[in-house]
Amino acid sequence: MRVLSVASECVPLVKTGGLADVVGALPAALAPLGIEMRVLIPAYPGLTERLEGAREIWGERDLFGGPGRVLSGKAAGLDLLLLDAPHLFDRPGGPYSGPQGDYIDNAERFAALSWAGAQLAMGAGTDGWVPHLMHAHDWQAGLAPAYLHYGGGGEGGAAHSVMTIHNVAFQGFAPAERLRALRLPQSQFTSDALEYYGGISALKAGLVTADAITTVSPTYAEELMRPEFGMGLQGVLAARAGDLHGILNGVDDRIWSPETDPDIAPYSAADLNGKAENRARLIAEFGLGHVPGPLAIVVSRLTEQKGIDLLARALPGFLDQGGGLVLLGSGDPRLEAEMIALAGRFPDRMGVRIGYDEALSHRLFGGGDAVLVPSRFEPCGLTQMYGLRYGTVPLVAATGGLNDAVIGTTPASLAAKASTGISFHPVDQIALTGALRQLSRLHADQRGWTALVKRAMKAPVGWGEPAARYAALYRSLMS
């Protein structure tokens, strides 16, 4: 089976979040199941130079304001397709924004990506590779199923389509007057099709036209149909409940492996000595003093969605009781300042690094005792899975994929020797404070803690099961 994956980012070429990890990991995970996947992403600066054996397979003279073409080749072990449209993607900054903020033509930029994907899905490529199915990711590829469904200027949709929601909070909104510029049919500007609160949502367009919808965890699939999580799209998703599938993400255990990670001293569930060495190194790297309690880590965007404001209020008690914290992340300047100030109050117990550093994140997971993920909502989250893989016990809010990936520590789960972390609900300061106390109590019991760490490391977090579910979904659409 041939599948075209359309996305705005892909590890290891370009990444702003977990979307890139999923897009980059799926092709290798699906290959043993008889699925050949090619990935289409924009040609951001520097990417065409990394494409081996590049050849042009599709092009348009006027692709939303300038010439565009798709180059096919190999990069980073991937069968990669790059949408080379310099007027849209050859810019300084990140994929979605520059020094002055979000690009004002993001609607057209990712409409171009979606248009190219739909054309390839309909067999417009000149290399003879025609996909059976197109898999679109998030709002940036949301118009691809719509173009495919409505014909996209070609002979009509020949391929089936799957739309995956990685985070419903980002919807790709554009004003109604851009409908024609986005090459969408005026006749479909209705409430049950393209119209969304008087404008256009690229994500909604994908949700109403794709053959199937997936999201990144079973719990999030259920949450999305409730007003507090659906972000205005709960009615659309409820109407398509029969086509909505929650498939929990996995992590690429070729990259995230404490046994082979080049950034840390190696260790395994059978031999945790390297874990203790990494802990000592991490304390030294951040200039901390003696940390008798659990050394927690945070690797996160610093936003209220991630519960960082709750953490700032709950941490002093945890640090006073002997716990430690090392934080890596950036985001809301107010929350950055709060965390820096807190580290100033507890210089022997807390270290902060504003920004992101991939190698440092591996050192944090290698040396931390626990990873804190107090998100108010979390579609899937990979952080808790990295924690499980590295025996860095996850302390998580019971929401979305956090709820699906971590078995919380209760008297029943302890008796059954099933717990793999700590979970709390509701998502507020009182519950988080209680969870941090529980973390300290569990860590004080060395024997019980070691057993918990080993159970966490044995939890299945790879791509085997998720890939099998995607493959089954693809084949069900084909049949």
| Tokens coding 7 | 């996305």
Do the annotations mark residue 15 as ligand-binding?
yes
The distance of Cα 7 from the centroid of its chain, to the nearest Å, equals 12
Q: In this structure, are residues 202 and 139 in contact, taking their beta carbons and an 8 Å threshold?
A: yes
CA distance 265 to 259: 8
CA distances from 37 to 2, 113, 137 (A): 6, 17, 14
CA distance 304 to 281: 30
| Tokens coding 312 | 């700032």
| Helices and strands counted in the chain (H then E) | 18, 20
The distance of Cα 400 from the centroid of its chain, to the nearest Å, equals 13
| DSSP annotation of 421 | B
CA distances from 277 to 260, 282, 333, 362 (A): 15, 9, 33, 14
Q: In this structure, are residues 161 and 134 in contact, taking their beta carbons and an 8 Å threshold?
A: yes
CA distance 315 to 313: 6
Q: What would the 3-class secondary structure string for 341-389 be? A: HHHHHCCCCEEEEECCCHHHHHHHHHHCCEEEECCCCCCCCCHHHHHHH
Within 13 Å and on the Cβ side, how many CA atoms surround 7? 31
| DSSP annotation of 32 | G
Q: What would the 3-class secondary structure string for 282-324 be? A: HHHHCCCCCCCCCEEEEEEEECCCCCHHHHHHHHHHHHHCCCE
CA distance 323 to 311: 14
As annotated, the binding site for ADP-alpha-D-glucose includes 15
As annotated, the binding site includes 15
